[in-house]
């Protein structure tokens, strides 16, 4: 493995999923960068924090009336976009951060479609947040970004409502909250309450590109993720057109779950049907599923679908997955599994197939050898022909290649054998 794509979350100055990588990358005392031994880049997991992983799969034993959306994903306006970029800038400057052509920090966006979605729970929270109320009082009026920020703070940390109000929240945060690691909103959550939502992502990315150039980069290399909610056409359109899309990332297996993707194998008469997928069985066969997933026919249909929606100049980072099941997230078997009976051999075979396709996309073995000879494949790597594995440690979905009690290090060994086999193929 040559790089880690790390998910993070950001809204109005509050972050999540970042503490482990911050501790790994920077000294706690001096702030100096620590070297990882491999490169990394970020994928923005721009979705709300919700009580249930999948609203469509309701926990049968769950009778709680607690709202599904716990923390809304809001994008703010120019001030919030700049604050978000400044948070990323420290990582962009890390010596191990992946740079396209050595000049453009790489960042992926997980859910392009969310910028245009109308989430009822989110809208209700916004109305509650940005409507003036008579009980706010003077206690929050003088706080940073006013009472709206205090109300957002209380939404972020609902347990504080047992002893705080919007009037007392600012004083509590100054005296105790900040020391406990709580975040106060870093931008006005209602500054753009009535803004035009159209082209929101396009305008935000344009602002980021400008900020990147201001800070010494030639720009950002921004990748859109293809998954259950995002096809190629929606990603390209949502990001503002082909000229703004650095690449597309095939996030497996969910990239194949879109209704628009209907290869013959996905029918009842297909090879996939024999794999016992899409049901409540915890014993369906990964060997069967991954064998079909890595087939030339499926890849051809997938790439042909993308070609109809985007220029060939937009690179595709192909995906791989060792297994996938939602059972760990659901109670009383309230879930389904694509494959959960793991097969290191089948996983390695899928990785090998995807790597060989990436080599072909890069111009073939001769082109790869030439680039290696010219030392263009190290710090100045083009990063156009990735194979992205879902995932190193996604335990909630059983998509795991790190060592486990059940498999030991067999998945990693299968991964290494696949890489070594392709390297040998390239050099022959």
Residue-wise pLDDT for 11-69, tens only, equals 888 888 888 999 999 998 999 999 988 999 999 999 888 776 654 444 444 555 555 67
pLDDT score of 98 more than 80: yes
- 407 vs 62, residue with greater confidence: 407
- 418 vs 265, residue with greater confidence: 418
User: What's the pLDDT band for 138 if we cut at 50, 70, 90?
Assistant: low
Give CA–CA dist 157/370, Å, rounded. Answer: 55
φ, ψ of residue 215 in degrees (nearest 5): -100, 20
pLDDT score of 325 more than 50: yes
For residue 330, the Cα-to-chain-centroid distance in whole angstroms is 21
Mean pLDDT of 76-99: 93
329 and 257 Cβ atoms separated by less than 8 Å: no
Please report the pLDDT score of residue 266 as a whole number.
46
List Cα–Cα distances, 376 to 95, 316, 372, in angstroms.
Answer: 17, 20, 6
User: What's the pLDDT band for 124 if we cut at 50, 70, 90?
Assistant: low
- 254 vs 249, residue with greater confidence: 249
Mean pLDDT of 138-144: 77
Mean pLDDT of 322-344: 72
Give CA–CA dist 4/51, Å, rounded. Answer: 27
Give CA–CA dist 319/157, Å, rounded. Answer: 36
pLDDT score of 136 more than 60: no
User: What's the pLDDT band for 297 if we cut at 50, 70, 90?
Assistant: confident
User: What's the pLDDT band for 189 if we cut at 50, 70, 90?
Assistant: confident
- 41 vs 272, residue with greater confidence: 41
For residue 37, the Cα-to-chain-centroid distance in whole angstroms is 22
204-218, 226-240, 371-385: the lowest-pLDDT one = 371-385
Please report the pLDDT score of residue 382 as a whole number.
54
pLDDT score of 392 more than 90: yes
Upper half-sphere CA count for residue 225 (Cβ side, 13 Å): 27
- 280 vs 2, residue with greater confidence: 2
Tokens of 361: 């996309």
- 88 vs 191, residue with greater confidence: 88
Give CA–CA dist 354/238, Å, rounded. Answer: 27
Strongest mean pLDDT among 47-56, 293-302, 322-331, 381-390? 293-302
Give CA–CA dist 109/235, Å, rounded. Answer: 10
100-109, 172-181, 323-332: the lowest-pLDDT one = 323-332
182 and 149 Cβ atoms separated by less than 8 Å: no
Please report the pLDDT score of residue 299 as a whole number.
87
φ, ψ of residue 65 in degrees (nearest 5): -100, 10
DSSP state letters, 31-85: -PBPP-SSEEEEEE--S-EESSS-TTS--TT----S-SEEE------HHHHHHHH
Give CA–CA dist 139/255, Å, rounded. Answer: 49
Please report the pLDDT score of residue 278 as a whole number.
47
Give CA–CA dist 359/367, Å, rounded. Answer: 9
DSSP three-state, residue 399: strand
User: What's the pLDDT band for 209 if we cut at 50, 70, 90?
Assistant: very high
User: What's the pLDDT band for 402 if we cut at 50, 70, 90?
Assistant: very high
Task: For the chain, list the domains and their CATH numbers.
Answer: 3-69+76-118+198-427 (3.20.20), 119-196 (no CATH)
Mean pLDDT of 85-95: 97
DSSP state of 415: H
List Cα–Cα distances, 208 to 22, 66, 88, in angstroms.
Answer: 22, 36, 10
pLDDT score of 412 more than 50: yes
Assessment of whether the complete model's pTM goes beyond 0.85: no
List Cα–Cα distances, 359 to 26, 178, 225, 354, in angstroms.
Answer: 34, 49, 21, 9
Please report the pLDDT score of residue 135 as a whole number.
54
């Amino acid at each position: 493995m040559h790089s880690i794509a790390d998910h993070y979350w950001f809204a109005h100055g509050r972050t999540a999923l970042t503490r482990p990588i911050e501790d790994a990358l920077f000294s706690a005392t001096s702030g100096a960068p620590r070297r990882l031994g491999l490169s990394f880049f970020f994928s923005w997991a721009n979705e709300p924090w919700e009580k249930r992983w999948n609203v469509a799969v309701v926990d049968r034993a769950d009778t709680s009336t607690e709202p599904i959306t716990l923390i809304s994903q809001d994008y703010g306006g120019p001030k919030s976009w700049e604050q978000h970029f400044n948070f990323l800038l420290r990582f962009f400057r890390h010596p191990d951060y992946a740079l396209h052509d050595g000049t453009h920090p790489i960042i992926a966006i997980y859910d392009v479609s969310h910028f245009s979605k109308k989430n009822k729970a989110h809208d209700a929270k916004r109305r509650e947040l940005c409507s003036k109320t008579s009980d706010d009082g003077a206690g929050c009026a003088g706080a940073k970004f006013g009472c709206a920020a205090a109300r957002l703070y209380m939404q972020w940390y609902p347990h504080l409502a047992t002893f705080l109000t919007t009037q007392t929240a600012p004083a509590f945060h100054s005296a105790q909250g900040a020391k406990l690691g709580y975040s106060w909103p870093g931008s006005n959550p209602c500054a753009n309450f009535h803004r035009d939502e159209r082209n929101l992502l396009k305008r935000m990315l344009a602002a980021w590109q400008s900020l990147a150039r201001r800070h010494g980069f030639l720009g950002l290399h921004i990748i859109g993720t293809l998954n259950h909610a995002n096809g190629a056409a929606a990603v390209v359109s949502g990001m503002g057109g082909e000229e703004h899309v650095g690449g597309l990332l095939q996030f497996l297996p969910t990239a194949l779950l879109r209704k628009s993707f209907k290869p013959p194998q996905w029918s009842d008469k297909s090879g996939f049907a024999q794999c016992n997928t899409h049901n409540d069985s915890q014993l369906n066969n990964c060997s069967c599923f991954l064998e079909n997933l890595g087939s030339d026919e499926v890849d051809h249909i997938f790439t042909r679908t993308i070609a109809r929606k985007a220029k060939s100049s937009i690179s595709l980072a192909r995906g791989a997955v060792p297994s996938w099941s939602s059972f760990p997230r659901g109670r009383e078997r309230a879930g389904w599994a694509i494959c959960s009976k793991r097969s290191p051999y089948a996983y390695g075979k899928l990785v090998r197939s995807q790597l060989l396709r990436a080599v072909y996309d890069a111009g073939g073995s001769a082109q790869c050898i030439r680039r290696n000879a010219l030392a263009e494949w190290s710090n100045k790597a083009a990063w156009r022909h990735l194979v992205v594995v879902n995932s190193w440690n996604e335990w909630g979905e059983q998509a795991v290649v790190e060592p486990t009690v059940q498999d030991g290090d067999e998945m990693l060994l299968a991964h290494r054998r696949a890489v070594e086999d392709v390297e040998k193929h390239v050099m022959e």
